Chain A
Amino acid sequence: MLGALTLLLVFQLIGEVLAQLFALPIPGPVIGMALLFAALALRGGPSAELRDTAQNLLQHLSLLFVPAGVGVMLHFRRVGDEWLALSASLVGSTVLTIAVTALVLRALSRRAGRQGE
């Protein structure tokens, strides 16, 4: 548990340092994820400890968004004034994005599957 958590933090740290060093537009944790994925591919998979720790952390991923979500109270006035435009935009755009992404991916992976056969 402790070793695995340290490993995750080390990869995040490397990611943050690279992002700062090269002024990358990608957040440090995302770079850390890519690097850890590459390391796993080289090493041939995670240890049981790392797998368990990741599972524990990801099981309650939702919890980690709660503090930022409570920040809505800072914007009550703006949200109140523009509620219709904001909700129309969020609902419309989110549903559209899910539908478009899923349809494109399904169409393309079917085609790729047929070519591979």
Chain B
Amino acid sequence: MPARAQFAEIWVYLSTSPLLGLTVTLLAYQGAFWLSRRANFHPLANPVLIAVAALVLLLQLTGTPYATYFDGAQFVHFLLGPATVALAIPLYAQLARLRAMAMPLLAALAIGSLTAMLSAVFIGKLFGASEASLLSLAPKSVTTPIAMGIAERIGGLPSLTAVLVIATGILGAVSAKYVYQLLGITDHAVRGFAIGVASHGIGTARAFQVSEQAGAFSGLAMGLNALMTALLVPLFLPFLIRWIQ
């Protein structure tokens, strides 16, 4: 290719290959994880937050477009699918507790899911967010792919929703411990379930750092809330739109 021959520098070659995006993602995450461990897994030292900040800075400094970066990073992104399926395994280990708590879990799920959706739109509206932002906020508590699908269907911006979903996940992972301390919530099943409803996979990753049981219930809540939000948003959409306009 003559265009490439003109720019013989290694950087140009590397910056167009998926290798770089993938490698910097893994390096940034491992650096972030190291920092998080040095901080004794303090919730504020969230590895997703640190890694994202480092990568955004790197891409800005090198003038690399997000699409080029994502060509490499998509291999990591892809693993979200099998990882979601794998949540069935820790969940199975909680089968007995799950059976005993089935009805309370479903009721808490429905109320929590509705709270997430309505409060996000209500507070956003109160502070004057634009209509596109409000519609992108509605599905922000569910896992990325389904949130993007919902946003697209109701007229939000899917790529903005993805960012809001990640931010929600980080916020939940950072704040849950303090909310639980304030309210005196000690049961790891309850702790895990609530963080999973509010902040999906990133909350679940945080819950697994706390205990296997918290992680399992968080994974369950994440899966159930994906289902619940997908059902609730179309149901409440006419109401939401009247509210927004």
User: Would you call B52 and A37 a contact (CB within 8 A)?
Assistant: no
Interface of B is mostly: helix
Provide the residues of chain A in CB contact with B60, threshold 8 Å. 73
Rounded to whole Å, the gap between the CB of A22 and the closest CB of chain B is 13
Residues of A within 8 A of B221 (CB): 101
Q: Determine if B116 and A58 form an interchain contact, defined as CB atoms under 8 angstroms apart.
A: no
> CB-CB contacts of B216-231 with A at 8 A, as 1s and 0s?
0001010100110011
Interface string of B127-160 (1 = CB under 8 A from A): 1111001000100110111100110000000011
Q: Is A26 an interface residue (CB 8 A)?
A: yes
**A111-B107 Cα distance, complex, nearest whole Å:** 13
Are the CB atoms of A65 and B119 closer together than 8 Å? no
Contact B29 A100 (CB under 8 A): no
A70 proximity list for chain B (CB < 8 A): 52, 55-56, 59, 66, 69-70, 73
Contact status A62-B47, CB under 8 Å: yes
Within 8 Å by CB of B194, from A34, A37, A105, lies A105
| A64 with B183: CB separation less than 8 A | no
List the B side residues contacting A45 at CB < 8 Å: 92
Contacts of B164 in A (CB 8 A): 86, 90
Q: Are B197 and A97 in contact (CB under 8 A)?
A: yes
In the complex, the answer to whether B82 meets A46 with C-beta atoms within 8 Å is no
CB pair B163–A72 under 8 Å, yes or no, is yes
Contact (Cβ within 8 A) B89 A46: yes
**Closest CB-CB distance, A96 to chain B, in whole Å?**
5
Complexed CA–CA distance, A9 and B189 (Å): 28
Q: Which of B76, B137, B146 contacts A27 (CB 8 A)?
A: B146
A72 CA / B105 CA spacing, docked (Å): 33
B127 to A84, Cβ gap below 8 A?
A: yes
A69 contacts B223, C-beta separation under 8 Å: no
Residues of B within 8 A of A84 (CB): 127
Asked if A2 is at the interface of the complex by the 8 Å CB criterion, the answer is no
Interface flags, A67-83, vs B, CB<8A=1, else 0: 11111111100110010
Q: Which residues of A contact B85 (CB under 8 A)?
A: 8-9, 11-12, 15, 29, 32-33, 36
> Given A32-B85, A33-B223, A93-B140, do A108 and B201 touch, yes or no (CB 8 Å)?
no
Q: Which residue of A lies closest to B120 (CB)?
A: A93
Cβ contacts B71-108/A at 8 Å (1 or 0 each): 00110110111111111111110010000110111011
Measured CB to CB, the residues of A under 8 A from B are: 5, 8-9, 11-12, 15, 25-30, 32-34, 36-37, 40-41, 45-46, 50-51, 53-55, 57-75, 78-79, 82, 84-86, 88-106, 108-109, 111-112, 116
A-B contact pairs, 6 of them (CB 8 A): A37-B91, A62-B205, A88-B123, A94-B141, A98-B195, A104-B112
Apart from the given pairs A8-B86, A12-B81, A101-B221, 16 other A-B contacts in the complex at a CB distance below 8 Å: A27-B149, A29-B84, A32-B85, A53-B86, A62-B206, A68-B77, A69-B52, A69-B163, A74-B159, A82-B129, A98-B172, A98-B198, A101-B108, A101-B115, A105-B105, A105-B194
Q: What 5 A-B pairs are tightest by C-beta distance, nearest first?
A: A101-B112, A108-B104, A67-B73, A85-B127, A85-B129
